Structure 1
Amino acid sequence: MLPFFIHNSLFTYPVMKVLLLAITSLFAVPIYATDVENVTVTSSRPYYYDTLEQIFPQQTYPVDEAALSGYVNDSLLRSPVISLNGQGGLLQNVSVRGFSRWRVQTLLDGVPIISDRRAGSSYGFLPSDFVSSILVLPGAASTYLGSGAIGGATDIQISRAESPVWKLQWGSNQQNHGITYSDASDNTDWKLTYRKAENGEDANGNTLYNQFTQRALFVRHNPESGPVNELWSLYSTNDEVGKSSSDFPNDRITIYPNYSHWLGKARFSVLNHSGSFWWHQSSLETSTLRVDSRINDSKNQALDFGADIGNKHLLGRWKTNWQIKVAGRDGVKTDETERTLTDELTYKLTTLDATELTVNGLFDASTSLSTTALAWGMGVSWNQQKQRDIAIYDNNLSGFIGLSHPIGNHWLASVYWSSAYRVPSLTERFYRGETPRGIVIGDTSLDTEQANNVQSTISYTNTHMQGNIELFHQHISNYIERIEVAEDTLRYTNLSSATINGLSFEVNWQSEDKRWMAGLSGAWIKGQDHANNPLQDIPPHKLRLDISRTFSNLRIYTALNYRAEKTNIGDSERELRNVTTLNAGGEWQVSQTTAIGLRLQNVTNQSYSTTADDQAPFALGRNIEMSLSVSL
């Protein structure tokens, strides 16, 4: 696959040309003073953060180096509204408030990670050592994020290196080992990592097909002057990635021979305007051995790209923000082959070859009326999807409004309404081919999903304690699901509607000397369709208790997790029993330059299925991970 900068079709879209021309013109055309006060913003945090934090607490989770495992998903699970979803292995994805797959946006510093797998996007390509913090935006959020943000989004920020550091890691269960080097020079920092893991074992000693080899390089540059504020790029290649499934090894063995990503982003700020340009080139190879039957191979590849430009203004007492965004998908292609067990070719064909272009515009405003904060926003979107001689167009509107009001000195109450939409994915529209679950057929007549979200939050803050409890209700129309129309044949179709209701809470406390810290969080979520049938992917209720103690040069921590049973299951799901698991660990700062970390996972060696997916594997058994960090 050609790199993005010599991929000619990147610039064939007229709208992209217009936006790039507009961005370029900002560098040459003066902007004259008006009655509107401009506010220049160069912060790298999401542009929606400033507005939404006025009306309800934003969920941001700094990543604790000591508690860091080899999987990014383990850090995501700190949020009570995030749960594992689907099958296991490096490519396992997560759900947000019971929304998963294409209904949740997966972002890396604002860059969308889009997958053409029905399972949805995964952070599996991202080394956990690269992560600094995780932002979680639950609930309908299409005004800011466009199509697919029905359930919200997760956005990971990459840590910044300041000096040379070597980090060595080892794990007992998968015999995994890794090495990461990070460094910085002037205004440039970089990270380089290598990780390899063998197949692990569950609590009963059964083999889990979760092997992988990962190599990744990240480089970031912040110029001292000029219009460009920041430029970064990440390359990750992952080989021989096993798909951990209950079908392994007797019925079906699925491996991803190669899973690669090259993405990057440039931020600029000039003449009071700010914007960015990003790209993401991805490739996924899949090979499925159907025992005693046949071998199916496929290759997915795509080039995603986009640009945005916007500004912030003060209009009287109102803080306003506008933005125009263009995003495209080119060369979205799936090639498939089938071979007999004697390696004779049965067929070779292209099951998906499509493109997509989206243009979004948004405006938001926020203000304070005495002690009450008010914010609202609206977005408009135009979308085009094409495959060969078929072109499908879609227009959508979205919006939100919310307010918050203090109750006394420590309490804050907020109410928030938002809408969202999800244009059917290219796979749902155009795909027709073979997957590990059987033949899957797309439908070009699918309607766009529409959703309305209402949530209310009560939060509490004082010197030593912060907490919030959130109630939410979401209604989705034209809900798209994959249903069985014949044996081993599935088709995407619109259901009438679906609703998801729930409650989540978080409470965090620290002692006056900050040596003791504790946190309690949990979630209760229920989802059903118009006929009161349970939806797929709704997670069991859960609770989590975190406790840590810091000494002069030592920190220890524990994380106790309770997952309730699940008996009200959807299609392609199985019942789950309740389970309680314990993780623990610590970090010893041996000297100013040396630190040793220890992490114990599944301490009591519990045997349980990772999710309710009927092909989900058992969880990894007891695991000991060690790390050594040396600063030079």
Structure 2
Amino acid sequence: MKFSQVAKLSSVYAIVAMSFGGIGLANAETFAADALGTDASSNGQSYLPYHTIEVMQVSGSRDHLRSSQLVSHSMSSIDLVDNAIAKPTIADWLVDVPSVSLNGQGGLLQSYSIRGFSRARIRTQVDGIPIITDRRAGNSASFINSELLARIDVQQGPSATLYGSEAMGGVINLVTAELGTKQLSVSSQTDDQATNAALLWGAEQWQSGIAYRRANQSTAADDTPLDTDFTQLSALLKFTEQWQGLSLAGSSIISHGTDIGKSSRQFPLERIVEYPNDNHWLSKLSVRKAQDWFVQLYQHYQNWDTDTLRVNRRRNLTQYQSHTLGALALASVAGLGGQGRFGAEWLARRGVSIDESEFSLEGRQNFSQPLVDGKQDNMAVFTDWHWQWQNWQLGLGARFDHVKQTQRLTSQSRDDQQISTSALLAYQINSQQKLSAEFATGFRFPTLAELYFAGETPRGTTLGNPELAPEQSKGVQVSWQYQLGKSWQFDVVGYYYELDDYIERFTKVDATDESTTTFRTFRTFRTFRNLGRASIEGVEASIHWQPHERLSMKWLGHFQQGEEKQGEVQQGQTLADLAPAKLSWQTLWQWRGFEFTNQLTWLKNQSEVGSGETVRPHRLLWQGSVSKALSTQLSLNFYGTNLLNENGFTSADEDAPRYQGSVLGIKLSYLFE
């Protein structure tokens, strides 16, 4: 029996969605997802693509209006065009970045962390539209088929706080297909019989795309069943136009998913979680005048259900919907001997509704109740300035945010204000080396769910805490870049964050505080608290070697640690969601019309873990592909994932599932003339 209450996207609604504007950028090198306008062409890293030999290059941004050197300095990009391996989730792509790791539970909506920051501490965007889903696991954007994307931009570093709340750990931006792309791709694989078909069709000023994919349940190396099944249909339309000296751009994305499984350790004997429906509509419209000013409007409507079966006990249905609205205005100015920008942003959430119903195993409804009926408004103004003196570069930025959050069910509301600042100092030692340092302060407002939710989740009974204070952070980062000739490139980054009022979810046992919920009393539940002070520190490095145009290798590494320093829990307690130490080796080799890729990743054992986590052993993962161009338009790809049949768990989360066992797949791609 399926449960669903929320409205579906009707055909008329879908047509309106696809015709509504959104920002689609003609230049695919622009960081389209940046709500503050970061330019992807600035000096970030590009992670090894599977379709072409990478040319190592460090360049400066020329788009002074839409880019900030404060936030683009530590940006890296993952190229998705013509990739040989079909990966179902956005997280599967992101783990190629040294400091990104999986966290939480699995399935299509797998979540991730950056430098140990996870969940609402990472701002996830699609073409600049922020994705806020109120899922405690994090704001996954896997409702979009990766075949509709051109690349993923990952913004790390303390200065990401220029984006405001939810960017303390960084920004993940999904950039949709380039204008003019004409391509058909089809893939299929073993184990879960996952299939994916996508058609992209466009011209110089517009782009469209439609993609369909599905998968069955899969198995781990030891034949443990994994709840990874899903069906999903998504579509894209975007355009750009010139009119009376202005640049107009728009885009719209719709997605409809059904029967999405959530894999966990408890499946299938204790708990079975499914998302019967997962609907999204995103759109954006922008207008720009050269390098003078830029204005954009955006929206994201979503509704989805969570169906949780507690085996031999009961069934709970949670129904969710919300509407995110926003506007951004930017203006560039020259003065004080440098280049600057002023900006204003409005981010609103309307109709944030979470309802819960409980049913007996016979289908009898035990109760039905609203959990959250809320809204949120976030107003912000910001500025950043940049100066260049010979080999020195200086950047300064500041942002002021005011937020108001309301829970109508209990007539609760709260107002808060925060100021964040950023600074960057870089020195070009010579033509081969660059040294830079940045410092920033940041914050994160608690989410509506962390404040006011009181009901059942796939994790169990969860109660919000309306007394939570905003998180505060101070971060510093030092980086060194060195290019040795044309063959070698070295990048090393060290970072340290000091966190105040860090929000932690924990389990209370045998507590019956009736004041914490309007509807009923719980004996064991999960809730949230502020830690006094905590810290996260680490180092990440990459070495790229390209001896000639047909061979490229990259070695990546990351190590970090984080702990509670003062507060109500024991000092020295490890923070949750930290990334395990990681070493990765990637190769790309072209030979006689064939292309071979290889990626071997080692994850160190996790013996010191945080709240809600458990000790994990070492893990070794291997994936690879063989590709052959059958013609100038048609390519054939064979790929394999988890080729060593690693049977470990995907993360230290106590409910994390095991890795899917070895998978072999085939993919065909055809480029239209």
TM-score normalised by L of structure 2: 0.86
| Matches of 1:58 and 1:420, distance apart in 2 | 18
Of the three residues 100, 103, 120, the one matched with 1:85 is: 103
Q: Secondary structure at 2:68's aligned position in 1?
A: helix
Q: What is the root-mean-square deviation of aligned Cα atoms in Å?
A: 2.1
Counterpart of 2:666 in structure 1 is: 626
Counterpart of 2:561 in structure 1 is: 526
| Matches of 2:104 and 2:551, distance apart in 1 | 36
Counterpart AA for 1:292: N
Q: Secondary structure at 1:312's aligned position in 2?
A: strand
CA contact (8 A) 2:179 2:203 kept: no
| Matches of 2:30 and 2:269, distance apart in 1 | 54
Of the three residues 66, 69, 73, the one matched with 2:86 is: 69
Bigger shift: residues 404-413 or 49-58? 49-58
1:45 CA displacement: 6.6
Counterpart AA for 2:360: T
1:154 CA displacement: 1.1
Q: Deviations over 1:153-203 (max 9, x none)?
A: 111111225353221110112111121111114522111011110011111
Q: Deviations over 1:493-530 (max 9, x none)?
A: 11112110100111222233x11011111110111112
Query: Closer, same or farther in 2 for the Cα pair 1:497/1:532, shift >3 Å?
Result: same
Counterpart of 1:546 in structure 2 is: 586
Query: Closer, same or farther in 2 for the Cα pair 1:485/1:207, shift >3 Å?
Result: closer
Q: Would you say how many aligned residue pairs link Structure 1 and Structure 2?
A: 597
Of the three residues 536, 547, 561, the one matched with 1:500 is: 536
Counterpart of 2:167 in structure 1 is: 149
| Matches of 1:329 and 1:54, distance apart in 2 | 25
Q: Secondary structure at 2:580's aligned position in 1?
A: coil
Counterpart AA for 1:105: R
1:258 CA displacement: 0.9
| Matches of 1:628 and 1:42, distance apart in 2 | 28
Matched, 1:158 2:172: no
CA contact (8 A) 1:56 1:457 kept: no
Q: Secondary structure at 2:158's aligned position in 1?
A: coil
> 1:325-340 to 2 correspondence within 5 Å?
325-340=345-360
| Matches of 2:105 and 2:188, distance apart in 1 | 24
Counterpart AA for 1:109: D
| Matches of 2:32 and 2:459, distance apart in 1 | 41
Counterpart AA for 1:311: A
Counterpart of 2:252 in structure 1 is: 233
Counterpart AA for 1:170: S
Counterpart of 1:383 in structure 2 is: 403
Matched, 1:104 2:128: no
Counterpart of 2:514 in structure 1 is: none
1:308 CA displacement: 0.6
Q: Secondary structure at 2:242's aligned position in 1?
A: coil
CA contact (8 A) 2:633 2:670 kept: yes
Q: Deviations over 1:41-99 (max 9, x none)?
A: 99747324443269944322222523442322222111101101101100011100011
| Matches of 2:156 and 2:71, distance apart in 1 | 16
Counterpart of 2:500 in structure 1 is: 477
CA contact (8 A) 1:190 1:217 kept: yes
Q: Deviations over 1:235-280 (max 9, x none)?
A: 0111100110110111111111011111021121148311211111
Q: Secondary structure at 2:262's aligned position in 1?
A: strand
Counterpart of 1:580 in structure 2 is: 620
Q: Deviations over 1:100-139 (max 9, x none)?
A: 0111111112111112111111122111112212211123
Query: Closer, same or farther in 2 for the Cα pair 1:243/1:611, shift >3 Å?
Result: same
Q: Secondary structure at 1:224's aligned position in 2?
A: strand
1:376 CA displacement: 0.8
1:554 CA displacement: 2.2
Counterpart of 1:22 in structure 2 is: none
1:368 CA displacement: 1.1
CA contact (8 A) 1:336 1:348 kept: yes
Of the three residues 509, 515, 518, the one matched with 2:545 is: 509
CA contact (8 A) 2:87 2:93 kept: no
Bigger shift: residues 546-555 or 151-160? 546-555
Q: Deviations over 1:598-624 (max 9, x none)?
A: 111011211110111111111010001
Q: Deviations over 1:316-355 (max 9, x none)?
A: 5301011100010000010100011111111100001100
Q: Secondary structure at 2:147's aligned position in 1?
A: helix
Of the three residues 477, 502, 509, the one matched with 1:486 is: 509
Counterpart of 2:58 in structure 1 is: none
Counterpart of 2:463 in structure 1 is: 441
Counterpart AA for 2:506: I
Counterpart of 1:60 in structure 2 is: 77
| Matches of 1:196 and 1:278, distance apart in 2 | 29
Q: Deviations over 1:414-455 (max 9, x none)?
A: 111011100110001111111122221112221111101011
Bigger shift: residues 134-143 or 369-378? 134-143
Counterpart of 1:273 in structure 2 is: 293
Of the three residues 449, 466, 491, the one matched with 2:489 is: 466
Q: Secondary structure at 2:480's aligned position in 1?
A: strand
1:151 CA displacement: 0.9
Query: Closer, same or farther in 2 for the Cα pair 1:42/1:317, shift >3 Å?
Result: farther
| Matches of 1:198 and 1:355, distance apart in 2 | 37
Matched, 1:263 2:282: yes
Of the three residues 160, 163, 173, the one matched with 2:191 is: 173
Q: Which runs of 5+ in 1 are unaligned?
A: 8-40
Matched, 1:297 2:317: yes
CA contact (8 A) 1:42 1:269 kept: no
Query: Closer, same or farther in 2 for the Cα pair 1:88/1:44, shift >3 Å?
Result: closer
Counterpart of 2:428 in structure 1 is: 406
Query: Closer, same or farther in 2 for the Cα pair 1:631/1:402, shift >3 Å?
Result: closer
CA contact (8 A) 1:542 1:561 kept: yes
Q: Secondary structure at 1:511's aligned position in 2?
A: strand
CA contact (8 A) 2:31 2:175 kept: no
Query: Closer, same or farther in 2 for the Cα pair 1:231/1:572, shift >3 Å?
Result: same
| Matches of 1:509 and 1:425, distance apart in 2 | 43
Matched, 1:601 2:601: no
Counterpart of 2:68 in structure 1 is: 51
Matched, 1:559 2:579: no
Counterpart of 1:427 in structure 2 is: 449
| Matches of 1:446 and 1:57, distance apart in 2 | 31
Counterpart AA for 1:443: N
CA contact (8 A) 2:70 2:159 kept: no
| Matches of 1:478 and 1:631, distance apart in 2 | 52
1:234 CA displacement: 0.6
